[in-house]
Amino acid sequence: MALINEHFLKLPNNYLFADIAKKVNAFKVMHPKDKIISLGIGDVTRPLCQAVVEAMHKATDEMASIQGFHGYGPEQGYDFLREAILKNDFLPRGIHLDINEIFINDGAKSDTGNIQELIRWDNSIGVTDPIYPVYIDSNVMIGRAGVIEDGRWSNVVYIPCTAENNFVPQIPSDRHVDVIYLCYPNNPTGTVITKQELRKWVNYALKNDALIFYDAAYQAYITDTDIPHSIYEIRGARKCAIEFHSYSKTAGFTGLRCGYTVVPKDLTASTLDGERFPLNPLWNRRQCTKFNGTSYISQRAAEAIYTPEGKQQVQATIDYYMSNAHLMLTTLRAAGYEVYGGENAPYIWMRTPQGTGSWAFFEQLLYGAHVVCTPGVGFGPSGEGYVRFTAFGGREDTEEALERIVNWSNIQ
């Protein structure tokens, strides 16, 4: 008899964005003529830049010839891209990595979800709260998260990040965590971590033999010069941290798929008997068995981001989104809202007025201003009382959405 993995049954079957879509559709059925503007889901809207498109055309033509055809590529990714990553993303920040520490992936969602295969089922995990749901859900699926009670998993340590603590995650004093997921700049709050604060986590991990899984998907949006782009800017991180990057938000690759994972060779973890093993060969083994590489065309496209033209074009799109973010911050603030993030990340995190619940405010905004946001509680218990707006919209839509929100707020 085939038995299912019952851990899947513990997952609440309401997926946040499916719930939002359901409510938006209900509104549309009742109000077919009203135009809705979505500042909800975290997908980009600007097209791929010219340098990327040209690289893809060229790669496609290569694939059409006998000499230029590429079949299965290396599971770890092509060296041309891994070298470009070392030279552009790390060397300028004084970080020296080996090419074999870089694993090209098909996006950071897969690897942030898959990485937990490397650790035993009974490790405790810690997450900043609210957080990108993939980290917890992927641990639920194999039974590591325990059971859910009142929206909290019993074997997950929630580290609250709210306006009350200035969105600075405090190291838990009451419970030990074996594995910590950090995401900076943060989705959903749009807040960042300073080197000084990140150093505390690295030191905690080194002292307690813990691992840090560091999601840097939004590092390209950092504008403040003293905010770290990589955890390896912190001394000792090579011994305790795995880092995830993605071209999805950096260069609009959400539909194209490419990113990379860094697994340093100095990073080791212990068996129950106390014998230490490096994780790099384990991850390599895992990838060789379960992953057949990102497409040659996607990797050539990613390489083009590092050319002088590519860098400039990608930056122009990031600037476009960040001027949306600036407009959102200033407009909402002027309208009396309490808003956070938006300065080094494409997300605005807004406190709902008068303690309104996240979902209640979502509906009020939908019916009152025909604008879609994301209820903060969908990202974890500490997200209650907040909503997220994304800066990934078109300029005109963003301006119109803001105007509607302001007008609607004035009549509240």
Residues lying near ligand PLP in the complex (CB under 6 A): 42, 107-109, 132, 183, 187, 215, 217, 246, 248-249, 254, 259
Considering the complex, what minimum distance in angstroms separates the CB of residue 320 from ligand PLP? 18
Q: Which is nearer to ligand PLP, 128 or 248 (CB)?
A: 248
The alpha helices in 41-127, defined as continuous H runs, are 50-63, 79-85, 108-114
| Strand, coil or helix: 268 | strand
Q: Which is nearer to ligand PLP, 124 or 248 (CB)?
A: 248
Considering the complex, what minimum distance in angstroms separates the CB of residue 224 from ligand PLP? 19
Q: Which is nearer to ligand PLP, 132 or 369 (CB)?
A: 132
Q: How far is residue 3's CA from residue 27's CA, in Å, rounded to a whole number?
A: 41
Considering the complex, what minimum distance in angstroms separates the CB of residue 136 from ligand PLP? 12
Contact yes or no for 235/264 (Cβ under 8 A): no
Q: Which is nearer to ligand PLP, 257 or 370 (CB)?
A: 257
Considering the complex, what minimum distance in angstroms separates the CB of residue 121 from ligand PLP? 24
Render 157-181 in DSSP notation, one character per residue. EEEE--GGGTT-PPPPSSS--SEEE
Q: Which is nearer to ligand PLP, 393 or 405 (CB)?
A: 393
Cβ within 8 Å of residue 142, ≥6 positions away: 5, 7, 116, 117, 121
Q: How far is residue 250's CA from residue 256's CA, in Å, rounded to a whole number?
A: 12
Q: Which is nearer to ligand PLP, 183 or 234 (CB)?
A: 183
Which residue in the block uniquely carries the two structure tokens 């895992």? Answer: 286
Cβ within 8 Å of residue 281, ≥6 positions away: none
Cβ within 8 Å of residue 140, ≥6 positions away: 7, 10, 11, 153
Considering the complex, what minimum distance in angstroms separates the CB of residue 187 from ligand PLP? 4
Q: Which is nearer to ligand PLP, 140 or 251 (CB)?
A: 251
Considering the complex, what minimum distance in angstroms separates the CB of residue 255 from ligand PLP? 9
Considering the complex, what minimum distance in angstroms separates the CB of residue 67 from ligand PLP? 32
In the structure encoding, which two tokens stand for residue 130, read together? 């609210």
Residue type at position 303: E
Q: How far is residue 164's CA from residue 151's CA, in Å, rounded to a whole number?
A: 21
Considering the complex, what minimum distance in angstroms separates the CB of residue 50 from ligand PLP? 22
Q: Which is nearer to ligand PLP, 232 or 347 (CB)?
A: 347
Closest residue to ligand PLP, based on beta-carbon distance: 107
Considering the complex, what minimum distance in angstroms separates the CB of residue 276 from ligand PLP? 29
Considering the complex, what minimum distance in angstroms separates the CB of residue 109 from ligand PLP? 3
* H or E stretch at 102: strand 102-105
Find the distance separating the first CA and the last CA of the chain, reported in whole Å.
60
10 Å CB burial of residue 327 (0-12, 13-18, 19+) is: middle
In the structure encoding, which two tokens stand for residue 363, read together? 């509906």
Q: How far is residue 353's CA from residue 229's CA, in Å, rounded to a whole number?
A: 33
Q: What letter would DSSP give residue 340?
A: E
Q: What are phi and psi of 125, to 5 degrees?
A: -115, 150
